[in-house]
Amino acid sequence: MPSSALTPSSRPPEIEEILTTLSRYNPETTTVLQEYVATQCATGSYDLMANLALLKLYQFNPELMRDETVLNVLAKSLTVFPQPDFTLALHLLPPSLLHQYSTASAPSSTIPLPPKADTDDQLSNSVHRLTYLNSLLELEAFPAFWRILSSDVDEEYADLVADVTGFEDAIRKGISKGLILSMRSFKIETALSWWNFTNREAVEQWVEKEMPEWVIEGDNIVRKDDGDATAAATSTLQPVPGKIKFEQFSRVIRRVYENELLHH
Amino acid sequence: MDNEQVAYDYDDFIQKTGDYDFEDDEPLATDLIDHEGYDEEQLLQQQQLFQRQLQLQQQQAAAQLPDAVRNFILYFHHCLKENNVYDLHGCYENSFNRLTEKFYKNTPWPDPHGVVAPLVNNDQPFVTLYTELYYRHLYAKLQPNLEDRFASYDNYCIWFNYIFDSSSPAEMELPTNWAWDIIDEFIYQFNSFALYRSRIVRKSHNEEEIQQLREHPQTWSTYTVLNVLYSFIQKSRMNEQLEAIKEGRDPDEVAGEDGSRSLYKTFGYFSIIGLLRVHTLLGDFTLALKTMEGIDLSKKSKYARVAGAQFTTYYYVGFCYMMMRRYSDAIKAFSHILLYISRTKGFHNRSAQYDSVTKRSEQMYALLAICVALCPTRLDDSIHTTLREKNGEQLARMQRGGEESLPVFEELFSFSCPKFMSHGPPDYDNPANNVDPLQHHLKVFMMDVKKTMLVPTLRSYLKLYSTMNIEKLATFLEMDPEELRSALVVFKQKSRQVRWTEGSLLDGEVVNVSDLDISLEGDLINISEAKIGRKFGDWFLRNTAKYYAVQDTILNKNPDKQEEKEHKDKRRERREKNAEKKGNK
């Protein structure tokens, strides 16, 4: 990960102090880190290393674990998909939480159905739900993602991310990144359903604000700088030039030398 | 005296990489206490009786000690006292193993306190070190019971306290690989204890042992182990030293008094690798790699000579990268060390730890197969050949993708992952709550794998076209066009990975790691395939070498083989000489 993600500029010095010293093992720092998670939720900042440090403290001191904070950490890490942050957090949770988790796909679809979230353990149920949301995001199955999130049948999905200010826009930004990476143009229709906007104006505003390299042309959103639209995808891969080090010839040279000796 | 001149060779030394298989289901020898009529006084009496019996046994054992063993212990002690690192290495590396083969193949070495301590005037440092060896041998060859595990832990505490105590003789030195072995074994036993404990609780047969475990929550606790490792790092100021080395300064400038001592230096350095391992075992892959911040893997360090430390480092670094979905970095780490192992194979063959090196490298080939399946990559030719020999069929199944590939991923992961452990003591009261950590990490890992199941299929279609319509491809794949659009974005995302370029192990840049690139233009998929130029130079050089070999075979001379043979002969001569000397004594 880029070093900026490892040490976000928004990290206060006291958190930096905890993360770089042995205080990261001190149960007393739990409260500081918990508050920091709350700050991240409120301000939209994000600090993976600090959150993992907190989960580790919970791992070491299960009696200190606060369900709400664990869920907030997970919800926050959804906002940076498709980075593996959510998975990294899951690895640090108690194994019993995910023990029952399983999903099945609907027939003739690649998108999994919601997991059964009806174990006795409330935290475990919530973790199942967030894990499911993460799967939808990583499968780029956005229409399904928004449908689940706004579901009237299971309102808990929406509750789970309610603490994260700007959750929806953060997700939209993530979606936009994927679009910017893979598209040269896409339909407004796609934008509406992926970003979960109800009207064209919202899409226009979003493109203007978040995608400066793009313009709306008729029913399409098109990359501005793309003069040569017929060319194949831009590729950053270059053929490997055939560099050979001199030392690699040592054997050949030795051989020639030996043959010379042999013949004279 | 057994003071042969031991010719040793660092490369010859391959050390156990902490992965023994242990199946200690044997009934445990703690049934001395009668738990029916349990009463303090009776207990005391029995203990005293037991002590007396033990003493008697020990005296007998001392009398029965073979001369070779007695002499070895005395000489060993002498070397430690004299601080003769060279001969200590010989004792540790050769004599101990030889005597083990001869006398203690299936039985423990002589009891440290009853038999060995009186021989060496109760010299504490020596007895502690000997005890460490005693238990290490016991763990490797026999089945340690709970008491052994407790006792070995106590001994580690004594030893660490001794070296952390600044009033100890500052000059003590140990051979580098011995220092590594101590750290390695310490973590291995910690890991082994956690697994043993969870097994007892799962089976929940032995109430008595469970009681003992409840009473000693501190024994082999994660905090203690972390504490030891961090203390070594701090005491030696190893991170500061590594920082200085990076900047091209003299590490001794920042090392301070303790950090300049070679004993602290080695323990400090190896403790970093120890932390890498402990964090991985606990599922904290980011912190594991962060701990390695100071160590520059691209540069040779003097500790690189300890092969066991090398294997451990690359195995865990590669594994952590894999868990962070940085497959190309993982592939690089595994390829590097597997190449190293295959090049030095000749040496490992004769080593006592040959089996564990073999197993570890098989694990790494399995991990490599997983990574290559998830991120198609061109491997080094010789690694590729071996991978196909070992895991060829599995690799092909994983590369085909789909539901059928999942069991293969699971199988290979379970075979090759570290022995994951939970941090704390298990839930003694509700054994059902104790989920095997392996199952947890496997599950989370498989979630990632499942999301890429469609990628191989997409790849195989996309390879055939330069442009294609989403509708058309959707018909081929019998899937919904909108789902396909999402799948294509997933495909594109998966081709972007963070890859290390410089700096600490966690750093890296997002790069394209795939030879197949796409971009969507409305409903049109543009596909470009980067044909990576073959490295013709390498190919010709390799085949030139092969051609020479054929020529030589025809002419019936093989200079390379001959060299190897000479080398072997020399080694045999040396060994025979040593054996002769020993026979003379």
Long-range own/partner contacts, residues B179-183 (CB < 8 A, 24 or more apart): B179/B263, B179/B266, B179/B267, B179/B270, B180/B15, B180/B266, B180/B270, B180/B303, B180/B306, B180/B308, B180/B309, B181/B15, B181/B16, B181/B136, B181/B308, B182/B132, B182/B267, B183/B229, B183/B267, B183/B270, B183/B271, B183/B273, B183/B274
Sheet with B467-469, side-by-side order of all strands: A214-217, A220-223, A183-187, B516-521, B524-529, B467-469
Write out chain A residues lying below 8 Å of B507, CB-based: 1-3, 6
- Is residue B320 within 8 angstroms of chain A, CB to CB? no
Domain around A216: 183-227
Q: Are residues A114 and A144 in the same domain?
A: yes
Write out chain B residues lying below 8 Å of A236, CB-based: 511-512, 517
Can you say whether residue B156 is alpha, beta or left, with left for phi > 0 and alpha for psi between -120 and 50 degrees?
alpha
Q: Are residues A130 and A204 in the same domain?
A: no
Pick the residue from chain A with its C-alpha nearest to B279: A56
Query: Distance between CA A44 and CA A10 in Å, rounded?
Result: 10
Query: Distance between CA A81 and CA A178 in Å, rounded?
Result: 10
The pLDDT value recorded for residue B346 is: 63
Question: Which tokens is B328 given?
Answer: 């190309």
- Is residue B532 within 8 angstroms of chain A, CB to CB? yes
Write out chain B residues lying below 8 Å of A184, CB-based: 519-521, 526
Domain for residue A103, yes or no?
no
Q: Are residues A66 and A91 in the same domain?
A: yes
Which residue from B282, B283, B536 is facing A242, i.e. has the nearest CB? B536
Question: Do A139 and B536 count as a contact with CB atoms less than 8 A apart?
Answer: no
Q: Which CATH number fits the domain that encloses residue A25?
A: 1.25.40.250
Question: Do B530 and A235 count as a contact with CB atoms less than 8 A apart?
Answer: yes
Domain for residue A69, yes or no?
yes
Domain for residue A208, yes or no?
yes
Written as one letter, the residue type at B392 is G
Q: Are residues A130 and A198 in the same domain?
A: no
Domain for residue A148, yes or no?
yes
CB contact at 8 A, B243 and B294: yes
Domain for residue A72, yes or no?
yes
Write out chain B residues lying below 8 Å of A87, CB-based: 323, 325, 444, 447-448
How many angstroms separate the Cα of B231 from the Cα of each of A20, B164, B173, B210? Answer: 15, 8, 18, 31
CB contact at 8 A, B499 and B511: yes
Last residue of a domain, one of A147, A182, A217: A182
Question: Do B447 and A87 count as a contact with CB atoms less than 8 A apart?
Answer: yes
Query: Distance between CA B331 and CA B322 in Å, rounded?
Result: 8
From first to last of the 585 residues of chain B, give the pLDDT tens digit: 333 333 323 233 223 223 323 333 333 333 333 344 445 666 667 667 766 666 666 666 666 778 888 888 888 888 888 877 788 888 887 888 888 888 888 888 888 887 777 777 888 888 888 888 888 888 888 888 888 888 889 888 888 888 877 665 556 778 888 888 899 999 999 999 988 888 888 776 677 888 888 888 888 888 889 988 998 888 888 888 888 887 888 877 777 777 777 888 888 889 999 999 999 999 999 999 999 888 877 777 766 678 888 889 999 999 999 999 999 999 999 999 998 888 877 665 555 567 778 888 899 999 999 999 998 888 888 889 889 999 989 999 998 888 888 999 999 999 999 999 888 777 777 777 778 889 999 999 999 898 888 888 888 888 888 888 888 988 888 888 888 888 888 888 888 888 888 778 888 888 888 888 888 888 888 888 876 656 677 778 888 888 888 888 887 765 555 555 556 666 666 666 666 555 554
- Render the burial of B349-381: b for 16+ CB within 10 Å, e for the rest: eebbbeebbebbbebbbbbbbbbbbbbbbebee
Written as one letter, the residue type at B550 is V
Domain for residue A27, yes or no?
yes
- Is residue B282 within 8 angstroms of chain A, CB to CB? yes
Q: Are residues A52 and A73 in the same domain?
A: yes
Return residues 433-452 of B near A (CB < 8 Å).
433-437, 439-441, 443-444, 447-448, 451
Q: Are residues A19 and A142 in the same domain?
A: yes
> At A185, phi and psi to the nearest 5?
-160, 150
Number of domains in chain A: 2
Q: Are residues A66 and A178 in the same domain?
A: yes
Q: Are residues A28 and A64 in the same domain?
A: yes
User: Which segments of chain A have a pLDDT < 70?
Assistant: 1-5, 106-108, 117-118, 226-242, 264
Domain for residue A257, yes or no?
no
**The pTM is what?**
0.82
Query: Distance between CA A53 and CA A50 in Å, rounded?
Result: 5
Domain for residue A120, yes or no?
yes
Write out chain A residues lying below 8 Å of B488, CB-based: 182
Measured between its terminal Cα atoms, the distance across chain A in Å is 61
CA distance A97 to chain B (A): 9
The pLDDT value recorded for residue A107 is: 65
Q: Are residues A140 and A159 in the same domain?
A: yes
The pLDDT value recorded for residue B413 is: 94
Query: Distance between CA B511 and CA B496 in Å, rounded?
Result: 5
The pLDDT value recorded for residue A226 is: 56
Pick the residue from chain B with its C-alpha nearest to A231: B526
Q: Are residues A121 and A164 in the same domain?
A: yes
The pLDDT value recorded for residue A92 is: 93
Which residue from B283, B435, B509 is facing A2, i.e. has the nearest CB? B509
Query: Distance between CA B239 and CA B251 in Å, rounded?
Result: 10
Return residues 476-505 of B near A (CB < 8 Å).
478-480, 482-483, 485-490, 492-493, 496, 498, 503
Q: Are residues A133 and A8 in the same domain?
A: yes
Query: Distance between CA B562 and CA B5 in Å, rounded?
Result: 28
Q: Are residues A171 and A52 in the same domain?
A: yes
Write out chain B residues lying below 8 Å of A142, CB-based: 486
The pLDDT value recorded for residue B264 is: 84
- Is residue B378 within 8 angstroms of chain A, CB to CB? no
